[in-house]
Every structure is written in C-alpha cells, then in structure tokens.
Amino acid sequence: MEQVVYAVVFLGAFVLFCVLVLKNQRRVVNGSDFSVAGRSLCATQVSWVIISTLVGGVSTIGTVQSAYDHGVSAWIFTLGSGISCFFLGCFFAAALRQAQVTTVSELLGRYFGQNFQYYCSMLNSCGMFIHIIAQHLAAMAILNSVFHFPLPVSLFITMILMGFFVISGGISGAGMVGKIKFFLLYAIMIVCAVIALIKGGGFTGIISQLPKDTDFLNFFSNGIGTTTIDLVSMITGVLSTQIYLQAIFSAKTIREARNGAFLTAIVIPPIGILGIIVGLFLKANYPELEGNSAQALPFFFQHTLPPAMAAFCSAVLLLAVLGTGAGLILGVTTNIYMDGIRRLFTKEPLHSLSIIRLCTIVVLMLSGAVVLAGFSTTILRWSYLSMGFRGASVFAGLCIVVFTGQKKFSPMVRGALYFLPIGYFILAVS
C-alpha cells in the first residue's frame, strides 16, 4: 500500500508540474521565439533559463554524494557556477547581447572565420550531447525506482518528457521549468537541511560525529591544485556552453542580461551549502551508505520523510534532471539549426519552427539510441572531457574577442584556437 501511495503522489505531482509549465510559458510562433524568445526576456527570466540547466542533479544529488565522500569540497560545483555567472555578468554579458547573435559559435565565426564557427559548434554540441545521455540515465534511474519499468520503457518516457519541455516552449519553456524547479528544489533542500540539523544536534553535533580519518571541513581536501583546476574548469565550461550564453542572447537589453547573470550568481551557491549539510549528516549517522553514496539524497528522503512527501521530492528531482536535459537539447538543437541547417537557406525559411522541432526529435532519438546500444557506460567515462572541450574550443576565442576589441586576427592565433581542443584531448587521455 505504501508503494502505491508513493507512486500515485509521484505521478500526480509530476503531472501538476507539466501543467504549470505548459500553462505559463509564452506562445512560440517562429524560430526566433523558439531559440531566443524574440530577445524579450527580463533579468529574472534570463536567470530562470540558466538555472533550468545549471541547477539539476549535480547541484543536489551530486553535492550530497560528494559531501558524504569528501566534505565541504562538494561546494565546488555550485560555487563555481556562481563565480562563472558573476564573471558572465561583469565581463561578457554586454558584448554577447550587443552582438545580436543566436549562438556563441556564430559570434566567433565573425572574427575567426566560418570554418572556425562550424568547428566550435561541433565540439560544443558533442560536449552537450554527452551530458544529455547522462540526464537520460539519471531520469531512468528515478523512474525505475518508483515504477520498476524495464529500461526501454523508462527511456521512452524520459525522451517523451524531455521532448515535451523543449518542443512546447523552446527557450521560454526552459525558463519556466527553471523557475518552477528552482523554488521547489530550494524548498526541499531547506527542509532537508533543517531536518538534518535537528536530528544531528546542530552543525557542531554533526561535525563531532564525523569519522576522524578525513578532514571533512577542508575545502582543499582533494589538494589545492586539483580543487583549483576543478573550479577553473567549471568557470570556463559554463562561460563556453551554448545554453547558458543563449539566455544572455535572449535578454531584452544589455542591462537585463547582466542583471540576470548576477541574480543567478547569488542564488545558486547556497543550494550547495544545504546539500553539504545533508551529506555530512548522512556521513555521521549512516556509514552503510559507503560505496553507494550516489543514493544518499534519495536515501535521506526515504528514511526521514513521510512516503507522500518523499514521493513529491522524488518528482521534483525528476523535474530537475529533465529540465537540465531539456536545456542541453535546446543548446544542441540551436547549434545544429543556426550553424548548419540555416546556412542552406538564403533567408529565414518559412517553416523554421518546424525544422527546429524536427532537429530536437532527431537529437532525442540519437541520444536514446546510444543508451539502448549500451554505449552509455563508455561515454560516461569520458563525460568529464565535455566541459574541457567546451572551454578549450570556445573560452579562449571568446576572451580574445571580448577583451581585445580587434576585428581581425593572424593565422597563428586562429591556428592556436584550432589546436587548443586537440591539445586538451591529448593531455586528458595521456
């Protein structure tokens, strides 16, 4: 009976989320609306779009897991996200919004040539595609834990739901998902952190019960060099990813773009702190999670919350994962259309919206085929490369464009930019 209640509440909550998303998003009538919302987003809407993709499973499940294993160094992801969005607002937002482009590759192509535009777009899309597969797997795991579906059924449902969030609203749909899941995730993580503090006897009580063989309060527990590299990779990766920059391109004005980035920089890091509190509480009281810390947050739901509330929280986690996946799909689709298919036409095609939506379906089917083919494990081993690829292929060129103000660059500079992703790959696999 308890499992039935859990499943019914989970399903009901998720259907409610879908209705809210569909009811509140703006109507999409053309390709520009789909990709950049007609460049009409205010600061809060810009922030919601970034949050929709940036705040997901890693910010919650991943942070709790990392805090359980390593302590406060788990803050790297959300802290790095906040710092990168601060830099985005300070140094990049004005130039990006002023450029009146749809993709970051399009901007770089103006300075380094059309071939470099296609090169950047391809690498950026490949990096995001890898993370789409990761979101498929995470969503399937949640569905399996609730309904015990076989893999193909869970995958099909995941693809349908991700497609729904992208196709129905494009960039504005991503913003609505971000808004809903942000408030829900914040509420859930605050409740969980408060419960952890009460049950653990306060923060000092939790700390006193932690194993003494590891310094869980040392932010640099993985080494100063490793921690610094992780932070730098996070910052450059965010500043190089299409979907985050697409939010800036979609802003109504430069001011709205900058304020949206600053707002995001303020609100993301605290959610990591809440996750750390939960992770440290679990480490102090549930040593049996050792070796299975990826289940730390769902474990906390099941052992501290009533079944109905635990089901609601699991539905929110599914929304977070799907929102991240949908944002990544939107980024890949925008790259494919603007830097590929769009170039086949002399002017904006009459059926641009239909073409973009068709691209979305193709990306979904390809990512689903990779999961079904059993290549997901191999790809996930290389998923850490995706952020580096994005940084190596886009960040250096973007900095040159923004900070130098030059219009033309020597073949040596262009050659170096071509080589950076290749050099990164060689160093990463050696």
How many residues does the structure list for the chain? Answer: 430
Res 124: pLDDT:
86
Query: With 70 as the cut, is the pLDDT of residue 12 above it?
Result: yes
Full domain range(s) for residue 249: 2-429
**Are 81 and 269 spatial neighbours (Cβ–Cβ below 8 Å)?**
yes
Among 170, 174, 163, 161, smallest CA distance to 363 is for: 163
Query: With 60 as the cut, is the pLDDT of residue 377 above it?
Result: no
Beta-bridge partners for 251? 41
250 contact partners, CB below 8 Å, separation of at least 6: 35, 36, 37, 39, 40, 41, 45, 46, 49, 171
The fraction of the chain above a pLDDT of 90, given in percent, is 27
Residue with tokens 């990306």, as numbered in its chain: 363
289 contact partners, CB below 8 Å, separation of at least 6: 68, 282, 283, 295, 296, 299
And the tokens for 81?
Answer: 């996200």
Among 198, 226, 282, 57, smallest CA distance to 218 is for: 226
Q: 416 or 381: whose pLDDT is higher? A: 416
Res 272: pLDDT:
94
Query: With 80 as the cut, is the pLDDT of residue 117 above it?
Result: yes
1 contact partners, CB below 8 Å, separation of at least 6: none
**Are 124 and 240 spatial neighbours (Cβ–Cβ below 8 Å)?**
yes
Total domain count for the chain?
1
Model confidence pLDDT, tens digit, residues 185-198 = 899 999 999 999 99
Model confidence pLDDT, tens digit, residues 311-348 = 888 888 888 888 888 888 988 998 888 887 877 765 66
CB-based burial, 93-106: b 16+ in 10 Å, e otherwise: bbbbbebebbbbbb
Query: With 60 as the cut, is the pLDDT of residue 379 above it?
Result: no
**What sign does the CA torsion over 403, 404, 407, 409 have?**
negative
- For the chain, how big is the Rg over CA atoms in Å? 21
DSSP assignment of 231-260, as one string? Answer: HHHHHHHHTT-HHHHHHHHTBSSHHHHHHH
Mean pLDDT of 204-218: 87
Model confidence pLDDT, tens digit, residues 258-272 = 999 999 999 999 999
Res 41: pLDDT:
87
Query: With 60 as the cut, is the pLDDT of residue 204 above it?
Result: yes
Average pLDDT over the chain reads: 84
Kindly report which listed range (8-17, 140-149, 351-360, 372-381) carries the lowest average pLDDT score: 372-381
How far is Cα 29 from Cα 35, in angstroms, rounded to an integer?
11
Query: Residue 41, SS3?
Result: strand
Question: Ramachandran region of residue 150, left (φ > 0), alpha (ψ -120 to 50) or beta?
Answer: beta
DSSP assignment of 359-389, as one string? Answer: HHHHHHHHHHHHHHTT-HHHHHHTHHHHHHH
97 contact partners, CB below 8 Å, separation of at least 6: 248, 249, 251, 253, 254, 257
Cα–Cα distances (Å) from 375 to 4, 130, 360, in that order, read: 34, 11, 21
Res 24: pLDDT:
58
How far is Cα 128 from Cα 124, in angstroms, rounded to an integer?
6
Element (H, E) at 262: helix 254-285
Model confidence pLDDT, tens digit, residues 61-100 = 888 988 998 899 989 889 999 999 999 999 999 999 998 8
**Are 100 and 346 spatial neighbours (Cβ–Cβ below 8 Å)?**
no
Q: What is the CATH number of the domain that holds 419?
A: 1.10.4160.10
What pLDDT band is residue 26 in, cutting at 50, 70 and 90?
Answer: low
Model confidence pLDDT, tens digit, residues 41-56 = 899 989 988 988 888 7
